Amino acid sequence: MRDEIESGVLVVGHGSRRVEANEDVREAARRIAKRGGFRLVEPAFLEIEHPNISEGFARLVQQGAREITVHPYFLSPGRHTRGDIPVEVEQAAKQHVGIKYRITEPLSAHPLVIEASVGRIRETVANEKGSRMVDKTSDATRYKARRGTVYLVGAGPGDPGLLTVKARDLLDSCDVIVYDYLVNPDLLVNIPANVERIYVGKVGGGRQTPQDQINCLLVNHAQRGKRVVRLKGGDPFLFGRGAEEAEALRSTGIPFEVVPGISSALAVPAYAGIPLTHRDLSSSVVVLTGSRAGDGALTRSLEAHSATDTIVILMGVMHLAEIADDLVASGRSADTPCAVIRWGTYETQQTVTGTLSTIAADAAAFGMRPPAVIVIGEVVKLRERLKWFENVSSAYSMEDLDLAVTAAG
């Protein structure tokens, strides 16, 4: 009995603007407790909803748990169980000396989930068979990957609808996909089953795949005659190390092609209702990285660009206070509008606005962390009038709920 009292389970869901999705996680925690006979079980969320992982962890400790099992509930094995969750749990555990923890692999084997999965598979197969008749005449216009070639492909910022046509066709015709942490897992759902998938994500504070190892993977598979897609979040040539990989391929004689993607530097502000240029407010834009390659320290190029009308910073949220202070010290007004946008273009997109004097505290209070895009400049003021994505997401959520209620009735 003592072991049961001292053990706790933290059921972690993603978190959503949809009330029913969050309640599903709480109900799962209740059922896990009842079915498993666990005395101490708490729900927690990665995004948007509370309690977050730190808060849920603390609740279990307060109830007497000394060993905590963290269970991801319907979360991506690539992005979440190897990225966000280990980082968040480690930070939470540091606040409680002597508490041990473990993280399970996510399970999605509920009978209703299996039934729905079988239905979706049959639906997809049926649609594919039907589309073959339609697509036969257009096969000549589709892009097909060539053997022994590596394609450095931009996956876009997250929304699957922003993937380019060429990228889609190459994913359908390749043998191997080498993909990053910021690639939306939904892009891989309909990839042929025989395609090899290799995850090489780089997560700040989490698992890291050395760049040399990635280069070797690309070269080795291409030398074996494989058709290789190197899939990167955003655009491969904008802070994506695509140039380094291209150089490695060139030096070994491996043919390659670059397929540009929509960069988060452009798309994420747009999804937050922030235009980067405006005839009355901004005629210049600079895109900077907030973290130096190698050690992750703050880059020191801000002063040279402090007068640019609109500043977009990627990978800088962990240095937000320093960035704001440096820009003010370089002559930028402390009242300059700022925005921090996390998981832009995803349903769980979060946006915090403020000024250079307040943005660090505002973002910290909201729990903002990577991946996030920072926008600095007068154009941020336009968000209140131009924001659209939150409204569309809410409309879709209500439509889905209405459909669910109708189906249940």
CA distance 45 to 48: 7
Among 394, 344, 388, CA closest to 19:
394
Query: What whole-number distance in Å separates Cα of residue 256 and Cα of residue 107?
Result: 38
Burial of 100 (0-12, 13-18, 19+ CB in 10 A): exposed
- Tell me, yes or no, if 202 is annotated catalytic: yes
- Tell me the C-alpha distance between 299 and 305, whole Å: 12
Burial 271-304 (b: 16+ CB within 10 A, else e): bbbbbbebeebbeebbbbebbeeeeeebbeebee
Tokens of 285: 């834009």
Is residue 381 among the annotated active site residues? Answer: no
Q: Which of 175, 180, 235, 326 is catalytic?
A: 180
CA-CA distance, 263 to 249, in Å (whole number)?
Answer: 23
Task: Report yes or no: 279 and 310 within 8 Å, Cβ to Cβ.
Answer: no
CB 8 within 8 A of CB 32: no
Catalytic residue among 24, 166, 202, 387: 202
Residues with catalytic function: 180, 202
